[in-house]
Amino acid sequence: MGMHSSDLPDFPWDLLAPHKAHAESHPDGILDFSIGSPIDPTPDIIRGALQEASDSPGYPRTAGSATLRAAIREHYRRVRGVRPPERHAILPTLGSKEVVATLPSLLGLSAGDAVIHPAVAYPTYELGARLAGATPVPADQVDELPPGTAGRVRLIWLNSPSNPTGRVLGVEELRGIVTWARERGIVVASDECYAALAWEEPWASAGVPSVLDPRVNGGDPTGILALYSLSKRSNAAGYRMAWLCGDPQLIGPILEIRRHMGMMMPGPIQWAMEKALGDETHVSAQREVYRTRRGALRGAFEQAGYAIDDSQAGMYLWVRADDGRDDWTIVTELAAKGILVAPGSFYGEAQHVRVSLTASDAATEAAALRLATT
């Protein structure tokens, strides 16, 4: 049996409200680095495409238009450098969060099944398992599983680059997980939504590896799903542009369910997504904006006596105190400076805070000044 609404955990951000109020009381106002919602303008190529396609009287295809699926395949070939998924193994989705929340249910998981997700992770992986009635198991290594769990695992979630830590999984790590899962008939779903934002080597030059890479899967997508979103790379979170792709034997049944549910990406959004995928100029420009903010914030936190762990890629810095102060203590002391960040407890770890790169340039500069003051 799945979850009832009364079984849902507290919405994490509600717990941050008192600290937000504290930060807002700062004489110079709040500087909010807690939520990773893009704030820079949506590129003109996307906005123009939406206007072009605004005359849309008919129902769109749940599977996506042929030209959109071709654009997604070309993205994998040209940008990710891997063999594209088959045309019938691509499914546009309404952002990526709804997939994370519903995939266990769409795969038919239920009570008695287990879902592995990263030990430090976006909370929706756990929620999705519970909505299906399955058991969430936080673990980064298969040898870390609780006794008796391995035989019940039906789905493994990967998240690379990680939200919140920014850690990247290399080809060998991915291949080891895929091999272990295939031997047991377990589906591997890889959330790769931050792949366009790599900062450190080797990922900045070589790119963040995908689970669709033949070095990972041997050229065979069986049992594999990849999830990607344009929210971050294209400043288009409000458009809800994402997709799921991989094993056609898994995508097919999911598509049928979504067709019955009417879960279809609006036609104008499909056209805007196609245009966005055909242009890397805006992605490169936004990457440089984040690179500048990241450098300023990283330097300011380090000079203020904090340490930065992982953070090799993605939209966040994973920050801790050298003396072991816990996450809520750090949240409190930063709120006193008018700086709001997210506690690591939201993600399963109590020693770090997550600092988003999505605040404005002016807010970033102001935060650096405040961190420099005692």
Q: What is the pLDDT of residues 214-261, one digit of tens each?
A: 999 999 999 999 999 999 999 999 999 999 999 999 999 999 999 999
Q: What angle do CA 216, 190, 286 make, to 5 degrees?
A: 105
User: In terms of C-beta density within 10 A (0-12 exposed, 13-18 middle, 19 or more buried), how is residue 244 classed?
Assistant: buried
Split at pLDDT 50, 70, 90, the class of 95 is very high
Instruction: Count CB neighbours of 288 within 10 A.
Output: 9
pLDDT at 72 over 80: yes
Instruction: Determine, yes or no, domain membership for 48.
Output: no
Tokens of 371: 């961190």
Closest Cα to residue 317, out of 227, 231, 200? Answer: 200
Query: What Rg value do the Cα atoms of the chain yield, rounded?
Result: 21
82 and 135 share one domain:
yes
Helix axes 327-335, 17-24, angle to 10 degrees: 30
Q: What is the pLDDT of residue 188?
A: 98
Task: Please state, in angstroms and rounded to a whole number, the distance separating the CA atoms of residues 67 and 159.
Answer: 28
CATH at residue 203: 3.40.640.10
Give mean pLDDT, residues 1-21.
Answer: 72
31 and 129 share one domain:
no
Q: What is the pLDDT of residue 351?
A: 95
Q: What is the pLDDT of residue 1?
A: 47
Q: What is the pLDDT of residue 172?
A: 97
Instruction: Determine, yes or no, domain membership for 49.
Output: no
Total number of residues shown for the chain: 374
The residue to which tokens 């939209």 are assigned: 315
Instruction: Determine how β-strand 339-340 pairs with β-strand 153-159.
Output: unpaired
The tally of domains found in the chain comes to 2
Give mean pLDDT, residues 268-288.
Answer: 97
Split at pLDDT 50, 70, 90, the class of 106 is very high
Split at pLDDT 50, 70, 90, the class of 11 is low
Instruction: Count CB neighbours of 283 within 10 A.
Output: 19
Instruction: Determine, yes or no, domain membership for 318.
Output: yes
Q: What is the pLDDT of residue 32?
A: 97
Domain boundary among 264, 279, 294: 279
Give mean pLDDT, residues 13-33.
Answer: 93
In degrees and rounded to multiples of 5, residue 71 shows phi and psi of -65, -40
Instruction: Count CB neighbours of 185 within 10 A.
Output: 9
19 and 138 share one domain:
no
Give mean pLDDT, residues 67-80.
Answer: 96
332 and 206 share one domain:
no
Give mean pLDDT, residues 181-209.
Answer: 97
117 and 244 share one domain:
yes
Q: Which residues form the domain of 263?
A: 58-279
Split at pLDDT 50, 70, 90, the class of 20 is very high
Instruction: Determine, yes or no, domain membership for 50.
Output: no
Region of residue 235 (phi > 0: left; psi between -120 and 50: alpha; otherwise: beta): left
Q: What does pLDDT average to over the chain?
A: 94
Q: Which are the contacts of 202, defined by CB distance < 8 A and separation ≥ 6?
A: none
Instruction: Determine, yes or no, domain membership for 46.
Output: no
pLDDT at 207 over 80: yes
pLDDT at 16 over 90: yes
Q: Which are the contacts of 18, defined by CB distance < 8 A and separation ≥ 6?
A: none
Task: Please state, in angstroms and rounded to a whole number, the distance separating the CA atoms of residues 82 and 31.
Answer: 40
144-171 pLDDT, tens per residue?
Answer: 888 888 889 999 999 999 999 999 999 9
Split at pLDDT 50, 70, 90, the class of 4 is low
3 state DSSP class of 271: helix
Domain boundary among 233, 250, 279: 279
Q: Which are the contacts of 14, defined by CB distance < 8 A and separation ≥ 6?
A: none
Proportion of the chain in helix, strand, coil states, percent, rounded to 5: 45, 15, 40
| Sign for the pseudo-dihedral over CA of 95, 100, 101, 105 | positive
Task: Please state, in angstroms and rounded to a whole number, the distance separating the CA atoms of residues 187 and 223.
Answer: 5
338-348 pLDDT, tens per residue?
Answer: 999 999 999 99
Domain boundary among 249, 279, 309: 279
Whole-angstrom CA distances from 197 to 140, 165, 225, 277, 329 are: 22, 13, 21, 15, 29
159 and 275 share one domain:
yes
DSSP alpha helix (H) spans, the chain: 12-15, 17-24, 44-52, 66-75, 97-106, 124-131, 171-182, 203-206, 214-217, 248-261, 267-277, 281-303, 327-335, 361-371
Q: What is the pLDDT of residue 142?
A: 84
CATH at residue 309: 3.90.1150.10
